[in-house]
Chains A and B, each alone.
Chain A
Amino acid sequence: MRLRSLSVRNFGAVESADVSFEDGLNVLHGPNDLGKSTLAAAIRAALLLQHGSSGARPFVPWGTTCKPTVTVVLEIEGRLWRVHKVFGSSSGGKSVLEWSNDGVSWSVQEEGRGVDGQLRSLLRWGLAAPGGRGGSHGFPKSFLATVLLGEQAVPYRLLSQSLEGDAEDTGKTRLIEALQAMATDPLYQQVLLQAQDRVDEAFTAKGKRSTRKGSPFERVTAEIKARRETSEQLTAQVAESDAVVSRLGDLSARRDRAMTERSEVARAVERLDAALDQAREREALQAEVDAAAAALQEIQRNQEEMARLQTALSEAKAAVPKAEAEVEACVAALAKAREQRSVALAERDALTRGDDPEVRAQAQAREEAARALDAEAERLQAESSRLDAWRSARAERDAAKAALSAATQEADAAAEAMERAQAAKQAAEATHRELQDAVLWGRAERLAARLDVLAARAEAAEATRAEAASVRAKAQALEAELPELPDARTCAAIEASWAALQTAEATLRGGFRVALDLSVDAAAEVDGRSSPVARDAHIDAEREVVLRLTDVGTVTVRPGDPGAHAALEAARAQWETHAASLRPLGIETVPALREAVRARDESARARASLLRDAEVLEAKASPPDPDELESVRRDLESARRAADGVDPNACRRILEAHGDELEAAAREAEAEAGRAAASATMTVSEAKDAQTQRKLAAQAAEAASKHEDSARLDGDDVEAAAARLQERLTGIETRRAELQAQASAEAEAVAARKEAAAQALALAERDVASATEAEARARAALDEARAAQTAAASALDVRRDQAQHHDPLAAAERVARAEDALAAAPQPSEDISEARVSALRESLHRAEEALEDAERAVRQQEGALQQVGGAVVRERAQMAREALEDAERQEAEVALDYDGWRLLLGTLRDVENETGAHLGRALDEELAGRLDALSSGRYAGAALGADLETEGVVTAQGIQSLDRFSEGVKEQVATLLRVSVAEHLGTALVLDDHLAQTDPSRAEWFSRLLRESAAGIQVVVLTCRPGDYIGDDADEIHVVDLGRVVKRL
């Protein structure tokens, strides 16, 4: 989790604040009472407190009913979340949780009460869902909430708290995940890792079998698939082979049945063929009988026909003369009918062409009367037009008079309105002038007051600066007093040289004995000290014995390896080099050097503290902006010039009357004056327009009157003249109707005559046709009678020729012979018919086809069996089945193996979660290292329990209860724990004046720690001492001067 921004409104003493955060170290600084802790509380409230909680009451600004409002933007696992809360009772409060991938477009995730549940689920800090245990009133509590977002009193609370007190185990689970905290037994860890590796290689994250490349299931699954496909394919072939064999049996039976059936039908056909031959022979004999009988009958029919033809010839010869007489009568009747038709045709044509004189005379008279009527009507129409023009001119004259009257009234009304608008304009302008004077006077007064305030601020800033300069001078004085000691590297070299000298001397300080057996006296110097010596004594020494033998010389005895002596000389020489450089500083020994360095460091820290104080004072000293001061002066002069000459008393009264609303009232008066002026201008324009309209109306009335005079006709009454004219027009129309009726009657009479002529013509035509037809029939009858005579004569001749060739006796004998032969022929062996023969042959054909089909099918199945079936495929199918079974056994074995690993892993995890997680041990080493460094070896670590409960501090004397330590140590231990937990979780840490009781040197150590930690996590520090954190690496720190972004109420 990372904080991205914080926006606060009306929260505690803060009216508004907007802060953005960056990754790494964020230092939010400001003086005491600015609201730093309020901002920290705002973050806590946004993330932890329900909007309707009573815990939000302290955040309501004093003496107001404002609703505290906080908006925090977080980044959790790459996604941005925006929490917006307005704290208040259920009706006034609200919560919204939104998310975004780009920080630009936001989507609502949750609103209302559900927001806190979602937030707690996202944070996983061990907080119960709202309404659950520990979640009903005020800020919910959990170990991680305290660690990551604790308030100023964190040390005491944190060190008496642990994960065990959390309402949910999400915080602990998260820490266990982060710390990989099965810190119980290395063997357990080893087994766990091994099991995890095996499960990972075989299963997906969701617990399904992995089929990715390299997975143990991949090969065996692929093998099973391939073998199953092969087995199924071969099994199908076996089934196909078996089916073919089965079908072959069925088809063979079918073929046998077809052969039997075909044989039976063939035998039936043979029998039928024999019977058919007999029947055909009898048919031939019967045909001969029939032919002979027919020939005899033909002879008899010929004789009868000859008799009949003779009779017909006689009748035809008698009919010809009668027909000829009938033809002549018909010709005469036809001539008469044609004459009557000519007369009727002439009558009808004359009427059609209009050649009738009576009809023509009536038509001419009627047309002349009509033309006279048209001329009269045209004259009357012209007179009517003139009457209309007179009537129109009179109406225009009346309208123009009415318009003149209306325009006169409107002009009078506009003049009155103009006078009223002028009066209103003058009144509004007077009011505006009074208020404007008061505004100018008030502005000059305010600028004078502002100038006084700025002058006071400049004076205060100068004083603070002077104080800062004084502190800085003290720091410079301390710096000047700092001795010029060797740097740290040289000090370390000196320490090493000193240690080497000590070591070299210790190497040769083993002790030795010199046995004497002297013949001369001697004096001895043992380890640099003179010592009496006897001639046969022995001398015990540690480093060196020098014997001065009288009259002989001096013997020096040093024990040990020559190399060690050389090393000692070299160490001495090196030390002498360093000692020579230290002597001018008045330092003879290494302890003295250490003390000098310690004193110098102490002075340096004091100097640094003074410098920080100076920075704080300098930061506090904020003189007014000179530009602003100059600007205010210029504005004041300008305002006074503008207000010159106004009546101060009147202005004061007006100012008192309107208070803060004066400028608004002046603006309103100015607007009112403007509106009145515009209204006056508009009424003047309207009055002019009305006057112009009245003049135009008068001119129009005069013109209309003249026009009416010019259009007037004889007489004064236009309506009476119009009535007269209309009466004359009606008379003309009546006459026209009479002429039309007369024409219709004449036309009807002509039509009746035409109809009569047409009927007469039709009768004549029918008579002609009837006569023509009768003539034709008579001529046909004559032709028929003549033809019958000729035909009868001809047919009689033919029959006579035939009769000459007929032999009735021979024909009768032929009949008798044929009938005898037929009687002698045998009857067929069975009853037959063509249909039966045909059906039987068809049956034979079908039986043969069925047999062919069956044989073809048998051959096909035999061929199929040869290709697909038999023992070969059966053997291979068996092998494939066995191979498949083997692969399935292998798969089961692999599956069992990895199910075993999975079960082992699950059981290890269960046991770990239930009995083994000891988070304290996971942090043990890390905390010990930091505490050791912080305390320069005084503290060896913090004793933390399984749920991170703090049991004490580890010292050389064992674990010491926290009660025995100062508040400073407690807050340092707590801060170390907080930093470590945040680092492992990789999440933001908010520290609010966390080291209030810590001395500057340890504060500096913590400053370095936080800068290092901020390389991996986000750290937000709220402090009044920014100098503790801002050093040479200021560019890498996000510094926020809260004095600039926080607006207090």
Chain B
Amino acid sequence: MSQDPDVALKLLHTADWHLGMRFPAFSPEHQRTLMRARMDVLDNVFGAAESAGVDAVLCAGDLFDDPLPADAWWQGLLAKLQARDWSQRPVFLLPGNHDPLTDKSVWAEDHPFRRGLPEGVHVVDRDDFEAPLSPDAVLLCAPCRSRAGQTGLWRSIPRREDGDERIRVGMIHGQTFDIDGFQNSFPIPADAAEDRGLDYLAIGDTHAFREVPPEAAVPTVYPSAPEPTKFGEVDAGYVALVFFPHGGRRALLRRERVGRWRWVERTVRSVADLQALAAEGDLATKVMRLHVHIDATPPEYERVEQLLRTLGGTDATHGRVGVLQVDRAGFRLRTDDLQAAFDGLPESLAEVVSRLQAQAESGGEDAEAAKRAVYHLYRAVRGGDG
């Protein structure tokens, strides 16, 4: 029961942890960094719950990326849950479409994860799940039992009966958008919360923080994934803190940042741009996709490579950017004027440069290889390792 006299109930709503999610487009080292980040962020989530003094923690599905994740993932989560006392602040874990409730899933009663859960941590394992959040509040949930389905899980939540004055909080996992011809998984209509007589509907699936529809009479909220999962995900990295005022007034909502990593895309068009980027602070917590659109002379090309190594790191050194992915499609070597770059070469090597330059400028099928050969030669005569 909330200690705040104006607040009848206080909840932390989170979802879409996706523990065990892989990032195959990244190097093994970065994959591991990003995967571990999904487990690390839970300390912030649970810390936020304690800091805000919430009455309960609602975890609205897709907590694991797979219904039967590798042992390390459920053991890691179990350790974090066991490390805290939830007896006065219950936690409700809802199976989503990524980790549906099945006999073989991590949610099954005979699974060591389920058996190891500490007091106060509950798994939503029935279609008519109901649990008291306080003497005047109740939680109503239904789990996903498959990866996809047309079933409206919201229908499992009973309508408010006449005379029921309790705070009714619903929690389901599914998709709220409704486009003709598009097959939703576990669809949730925009008026589901109102239809069921709820005061708040906690949902999960979309990784961005959203209230759907905004300013509706009864809030229906996606709290976002606590750590983003891909580029282009905006408003991710949060949990929702929900405050229920006395008197049946509309619940108040506050989003709280818990994520460490920010996924950004940047484009540089000159060496100066890149130098400026390299000088920026706060790069260590960024997952960056860097588009290099530069036409460079051999010395510039070498400088760009040097800066990219500074940003991305090498076998021997850490990069300034936490996780860097470089798009080199727009990074080209200029070979129209190589005089300055190769000044003073022996006659025979000058002849080699001349031939490669002609090939590069011809625009033929070997032009790009010729440019690269020019760059190798430039590095080699300067004593670089190419």
Contacts and interface: CB of A to CB of B under 8 A. Distances in A.
Interface in A867-895: 867-873, 879-880, 882-883, 885-886, 889, 893
B376 A195 contact: yes
Interface string A235-252: 000000100010000000
Interface in A884-914: 885-886, 889, 893, 896-897, 899-904, 907-908, 910-912
A871 B381 CA distance: 54
Contacts of A866: 100, 145-149
B142 to A, nearest CB: 15
Contact of B148 (A871, A879, A885, A915): A871
A185 interface: yes
A870, A882, A896, A910 — most chain B CB neighbours (10 Å): A870
Contacts of A886: 25, 325
Interface in A175-195: 184-185, 187-188, 190-191, 194-195
A904 B377 contact: yes
Interface string A259-297: 000000000000000000000000000000000000000
A868 B349 contact: no
Contact of B372 (A871, A899, A907): A899
A863 B148 CA distance: 9
Interface string B303-336: 0000000000000000000000101110000000
A268 B327 CA distance: 71
Given A867-B147, A871-B185, A873-B147, A185 B349 contact: yes
Contacts of B205: 871
A565 interface: no
Contacts of A908: 352
B147 A870 contact: yes
A900 B147 contact: no
Interface residues of B, number: 45
A188 B372 contact: no
Contacts of B146: 863, 865-867, 870
B375 A915 contact: no
Interface stretch (B77-85, B275-283, B362-370): B362-370
A908 B145 CA distance: 66
B356 A184 contact: no
Contacts of A1048: none
A185 B348 contact: yes
B352 A865 contact: no
Contacts of B366: 899, 903
Given A190-B380, A869-B147, A900 B372 contact: yes
Contacts of B175: 871
A879 B346 contact: no
Interface string B222-244: 00000000100000000000000
A873, A882, A908 — most chain B CB neighbours (10 Å): A908
A900 B376 contact: yes
B246 interface: no
A245 to B, nearest CB: 5
Nearest to B22: A879
A1002 to B, nearest CB: 39
A916 interface: yes
A903 B348 contact: no
B386 interface: yes
A633 interface: no
B371 interface: yes
B339 interface: no
Contacts of B220: none
Contacts of A652: none
B352 A904 contact: yes
A865 B380 contact: no
A230 interface: yes
Interface string B158-201: 00000000000000000100000001010000000000000000
A900 B366 CA distance: 9
B25 A883 contact: yes
A4 interface: no
B24 A865 contact: no
B346 A870 contact: no
A524 to B, nearest CB: 67
Interface residues of A, number: 47
A910 B354 CA distance: 13
B346 A185 contact: yes
A868, A900, A907 — most chain B CB neighbours (10 Å): A900
A903 B370 contact: yes
A900 B149 contact: no
A907 B373 contact: yes
A241 B381 CA distance: 57
Contacts of A188: 346, 348-349
B360 to A, nearest CB: 10
B14 interface: no
Contacts of A195: 376, 380
A800 B345 CA distance: 151
B351 A911 contact: yes
Contacts of B370: 900, 903
Nearest to B380: A191
Given A862-B149, A866-B148, A869-B148, A900 B351 contact: no
B150 interface: yes
Interface string B82-114: 000000000000000110100000000000000
A901 B98 CA distance: 47
B355 interface: yes
Interface string B135-147: 0000000000111
A870 B148 contact: yes
A227 interface: yes
Contacts of A558: none
B351 A191 contact: no
A510 B325 CA distance: 76
A209 to B, nearest CB: 14
A865 B148 contact: yes
Contacts of A915: 348, 351
B24 A883 contact: yes
Contact of B356 (A862, A882, A889, A903): A903
A254 interface: no
A305 B386 CA distance: 133
A190, A893, A902, A911 — most chain B CB neighbours (10 Å): A911
A912 B351 CA distance: 10
Contacts of B348: 184-185, 188, 911-912, 915-916
A846 interface: no
A194 B147 CA distance: 55
A838 B351 CA distance: 99
Contact of A241 (B148, B328, B371): B148
Nearest to A197: B386
A872 B328 CA distance: 31
Contacts of B148: 241, 865-866, 868-872
Contact of A907 (B100, B325, B352, B381): B352
Contact of A896 (B346, B349, B372): B372
A900 B376 CA distance: 7
Contacts of B349: 185, 187-188, 191
A870 B185 contact: yes
A907 B185 contact: no
A198 interface: yes
Interface in A183-226: 184-185, 187-188, 190-191, 194-195, 198
Nearest first, the 9 A-B pairs at minimum CB distance are A870-B148, A900-B372, A866-B146, A883-B24, A904-B373, A899-B369, A883-B25, A900-B373, A870-B185
Given A866-B147, A889-B328, 5 more contacts: A195-B376, A870-B97, A872-B147, A879-B22, A889-B329
20 contacts: A184-B348, A185-B346, A187-B381, A195-B380, A862-B150, A865-B146, A865-B149, A866-B148, A866-B149, A870-B146, A870-B185, A871-B185, A871-B205, A879-B230, A883-B24, A885-B25, A896-B372, A897-B372, A899-B369, A900-B374
Interface of A: 184-185, 187-188, 190-191, 194-195, 198, 227, 230, 241, 245, 862-863, 865-873, 879-880, 882-883, 885-886, 889, 893, 896-897, 899-904, 907-908, 910-912, 915-916
